[in-house]
Amino acid sequence: MAAIPYTIRRSDRARHARILVDGEGVEVVVPRRFPLREIEPFVEEKTPWIERTLRRMRESESEFPPARLEDGGELPYLGERLALRVREEASRARAHVARRGGELCVALAPAGSLVAAVEAWYRRRAREEVGARLDEAVARAGTSYTSLQIRGQRTRWASCSSSGAMSFNWRLLLAPPEILDYVVEHEVVHLEVHDHSRRFWSLLAARSPGWREHERWLRRHGHALRL
């Protein structure tokens, strides 16, 4: 059995060792005092599961190709595929990103980061796309939220605090629009029901009848929502 490359991250919040497998690779998260000598046996024990997960990821990418971040590449955007056009301008001090029809045009400063420029554009668009959907959803539900943050968590798509503070992952814009719609509805239900009780799922089903299908899509293709 071939060795699987992985990174190690110590966490003050971790109580047990766990393994994350996504588009960025395999990461082993361990408590701060976890003995290093126990990590390799732990990974070996989980290797069949890791290999199955990596295989499923390769299969899903044939159905939902991830972004190709290069001149002439493609970027998914809420169900569309935007052609990426990149050029470098010697006189430019900072990057400029603009959508023109079905193209995303990026002008970079010398030695500028294409990833950083495109991510910044997605984050700006996420505030508008999420904000509009969120406002409509709370209006339908007769509730309200206190704030909206756009973040880039590795393992969480969105959250709703007990005070009504909302947080959404900008990577949701790489998914089809119905997936973003679903995640918004999911978090708006949390404004009324903070747990995942029977009442929560009942409310969610009424507002997003296809929620099971959307959850399955995220489990299958969520790893591909990356730059």
Domain 74-224: top CATH class: alpha beta
Comparing 55 with 140, the larger pLDDT belongs to 140
| Amino acid 218: pLDDT | 93
Residue 56: φ, ψ to 5°: -65, -35
| Amino acid 226: pLDDT | 87
Rounded to an integer, the average pLDDT of 46-75 is 87
- 169: closest CA among 139, 140, 179? 179
Domain range summary for the chain, segments of one domain joined by +: 7-63, 74-224
Rounded to an integer, the average pLDDT of 103-119 is 95
Distance in angstroms (rounded) separating the CA atoms of residues 93 and 75: 25
User: What is the three-class DSSP state of 77?
Assistant: strand
Q: Is the pTM of this model over 0.95?
A: no
Tokens of 19: 């393994």
Helix count and strand count (H, E) for the chain: 5, 10
Which whole-number Å values give the CA distances from 132 to 83, 118, 129, 168, 177, in the listed order? 25, 21, 6, 13, 13
| Amino acid 2: pLDDT | 57
